[in-house]
Amino acid sequence: MMKIQIYKEFFKSSNQFFIDVDFSMKKGSFNALYGGSGSGKTSILNVISGIKYADKGKISISDIVWLDTENKINLPVNKRKIGVVFQNSVLFPHLSVYENILFSKDKNDSFDLMNELIELFSISDLLNYSTDILSGGQKQKVAIVRALIRNPDLLLLDEPFSAIDTEQRKQIQDSLLKAHQKLKFTALVISHDLEEVVRLSDNIFMIENGKIVKEGSAFSLFENKDEQEFIRLSGIILSIERIEAVQKMKVLIGNEIHTIEKEKSNHQIGDRVEIEAKKSRI
Amino acid sequence: MDFEVIFLTLKLALITTFILLCIGIPLAYWLNYSSRKWKVWVETIVSLPIVLPPTVLGFYLLFCFSPENWFGKFLDNWFGIRLVFSFTGLVIGSIIYSFPFMIQSIRTGFSQIPKSYMNEALVLGKSKWVIIRKILLPSMKNSILTGCVLTFSHTIGEFGVILMIGGNIPGETRVISIALFDEVEKLNYHTAHQYSAALLVVSFIVLFIVYSKRNNPFRKK
């Protein structure tokens, strides 16, 4: 079990913000911290990883204390057995893909695991490449493999797929889930993408203004919410049919075409539109 | 042309560059990453030789190393070391004189490395020593090279400090810049030309290396 209590105050453009969270994660579970921009998700990740310090707090995993501000314990970042995949992970440019992965490997880490992960994330063809020529998705795959070969107690993922196209994103998510099944590490993914959160995690913490407002499985959190909650979708107009004051638009959202009725507007075919709809209607 | 002069000059430049490289990397790292308030004192002292006339620096070093004064006397009495008019004194003078050239170049290299490199390597469980050795230094090799060649060329061309603390002792402190001055004073222009040409060629080669390598340190070759 991993227990996390964090209190931290900070300033952003002279406004005071704070995070005040207290939650725990079961060993081997895949968790998500879900919330909008500025809700404090990344600050929490930075404190858990040890990159930032908390004003008050306690973080422990099994019997190992990583942070205890009362007793002035703060295990350095490099002593915490973690893997972190940032939104824009840095691959060191003077090293090849393979050297980047190897840099993370300690003497005791297994070569078999490394090779298995390389196969699982389908990056064996990239190993001799310079990191400059990799796409965003390929870079994130390498970053995940590099984080996992240490067989971390906790894997932290900070919006790791936000800059990757849908198809690659799903492929990487599948590989990540397979790696999780095999290695049984505890994971915490930070995201504002509901689809990603539901797909990856078995436990979700919803965060608003630095506080966790709800916790549970995707089903328990959203089962009664659909009727009240609206979500925003983005799509491309394929055709427009105007009938008196109303216009019927065929809009491509994801891989599906939806028919949407709206009041007349100046939209043209090919325009990108934002649509707000009740979840239950999608 | 006396080849001993050339050999002594190159020896002085190489030793100075090597010692400054060893001191420069940790000091530049500290100057770049430390947030201590008194860092500004160190920065000022390190940069002083850029603005200070070499003769002023040479005069203070001569004063300090002289066995007439407490530091020189201390070295003489306890260790039997005399730094004035000796090669060791020249090395120390050259190190102080070229300090800013090495430190500023390496510090620029550190400052160009994004902070995310350090964080990324730390979360991979690596110690700061490993990160410096395997990530930071290889990422700034052009800055290190620049520091080395600037220090080397600066030492080869140095005159004021050497004249003050080293004088003109053949085989001990008579380096190329001093020999050139000496030959001109003797109206021996032929040898002076040879020394000048040697300095010119070395300076050109050194600067050529610096400018051909001075590009973005993060660009892949």
Tens digits of per-residue pLDDT, B79-104? 888 888 899 999 999 999 999 999 99
Give B204 to chain A, closest Cα distance, Å: 29
Is the predicted pLDDT of residue A49 greater than 80, yes or no?
yes
- What is the arithmetic mean of pLDDT over A116-132? 92
- What is the arithmetic mean of pLDDT over A233-245? 78
Q: How far is CA B202 from CA A101, B5, B163, B174, B197, in A?
A: 42, 14, 21, 18, 9
CB contact under 8 A, A84 and B220: no
What's domain A2-93+152-216's superfamily in CATH? P-loop containing nucleotide triphosphate hydrolases (3.40.50.300)
Which tokens in the block code for residue A120?
Answer: 């699982």
CB contact under 8 A, B123 and A79: no
CB contact under 8 A, B125 and A94: no
> Would you say the C-alpha torsion A86, A92, A98, A103 has a positive or negative sign?
negative
Q: Which residues of A66-83 are buried (b: 16+ CB within 10 A; e: fewer)?
A: bbbbeeeebbebbebbbb
What is the chain B residue with the closest CA to A151? Answer: B124
Report the pLDDT value the prediction gives residue A228, as an integer from 0 to 100: 52
- What is the arithmetic mean of pLDDT over B109-122? 91
Which of A48, A88, A90, A132 would best serve as a mutation to test chain B binding (most B beta carbons within 10 A)? A90
Give me the CATH topology for the region A229-278: OB fold (Dihydrolipoamide Acetyltransferase, E2P) (2.40.50)
Give B131 to chain A, closest Cα distance, Å: 10
Query: Which residues of A, range 132-151, sit inside 8 Å of B by Cβ?
Result: 132, 146-147, 150
Contacts of B135 in chain A (CB under 8 A): 92, 103
Q: Are A141 and A117 in contact (CB under 8 A)?
A: no
Q: What percent of chain A has pLDDT over 70?
A: 92
Tens digits of per-residue pLDDT, B6-56? 889 999 999 999 999 999 999 999 999 998 888 999 999 999 998 999 999
Q: Which of B122, B138, B220 sits opposite A77 (nearest CB)?
A: B122
Which part of chain A has CATH 3.40.50.300? 2-93+152-216
A103 touches chain B (CB under 8 A): yes
Alpha-carbon distance B165 to B55, whole Å? 10
Give B129 to chain A, closest Cα distance, Å: 12
Alpha-carbon distance A102 to A105, whole Å? 5
Q: How far is CA A19 from CA A28, A39, A197, B63, in A?
A: 25, 8, 21, 60
Report the pLDDT value the prediction gives residue A278, as an integer from 0 to 100: 60
Contacts of A76 in chain B (CB under 8 A): 122
A192 touches chain B (CB under 8 A): no
Is the predicted pLDDT of residue A100 greater than 90, yes or no?
yes
Give one DSSP letter per residue of chain A, joined into a string.
-EEEEEEEEEEETTEEEEEEEEEEE-TT-EEEEE--TTSSHHHHHHHHHTSS--SEEEEEETTEEEEETTTTEE--GGGS-EEEE-TTPPPPTTSBHHHHHHHH--TTS-HHHHHHHHHHTT-GGGTTSBGGG--HHHHHHHHHHHHHTT--SEEEEESTTTTS-HHHHHHHHHHHHHHHHHH--EEEEEES-HHHHHHH-SEEEEEETTEEEEEE-HHHHHTTTTTT-EEEEEEEEEEEEEETTEEEEEEEETTEEEEEEEE-----TT-EEEEEEEGGG-
Q: Which of B126, B134, B218 sits opposite A78 (nearest CB)?
A: B126
Least confident of A30-39, A257-266, B23-32: A257-266
A82 touches chain B (CB under 8 A): yes
Residues ≥6 apart with Cβ < 8 Å to B218: A93, B112, B139
Contacts of A147 in chain B (CB under 8 A): 123-124
- The confidence band for A279, taking pLDDT boundaries of 50, 70 and 90, is low
Average pLDDT, chain A: 85
Give the closest residue to A157 by CA, choosing from A131, A177, A129: A177
Q: What percent of chain B has pLDDT over 90?
A: 51
Q: Specify the long-range contacts of residues B105-108, CB closer than 8 Å, at least 24 apart.
A: B105/B143, B105/B144, B105/B146, B105/B147, B105/B150, B106/B24, B106/B25, B106/B28, B106/B140, B106/B143, B106/B144, B106/B147, B107/B28, B107/B31, B107/B32, B108/B143
CB contact under 8 A, B116 and A130: no
Tens digits of per-residue pLDDT, A4-13? 989 988 877 6
Alpha-carbon distance B133 to A2, whole Å? 34
Q: Which of B124, B139, B220 sits opposite A104 (nearest CB)?
A: B124
Which part of chain A has CATH 2.40.50.140? 229-278
Q: Which residues of B59-88 are buried (b: 16+ CB within 10 A; e: fewer)?
A: eebbebbbeeeeebeebeeeeeeebbbbbe
Strands (E), B40-114: none
- What is the arithmetic mean of pLDDT over A78-94? 90
Kindly give the pairing relationship between strand A82-85 and strand A154-158: parallel
Contacts of B117 in chain A (CB under 8 A): 90, 92
Contacts of B114 in chain A (CB under 8 A): 90
Report the pLDDT value the prediction gives residue B115, as an integer from 0 to 100: 87
Give the closest residue to A206 by CA, choosing from A192, A227, A196: A192
Between CA B31 and CA B35, with CA B32 as vertex, the angle to 5 degrees is 75
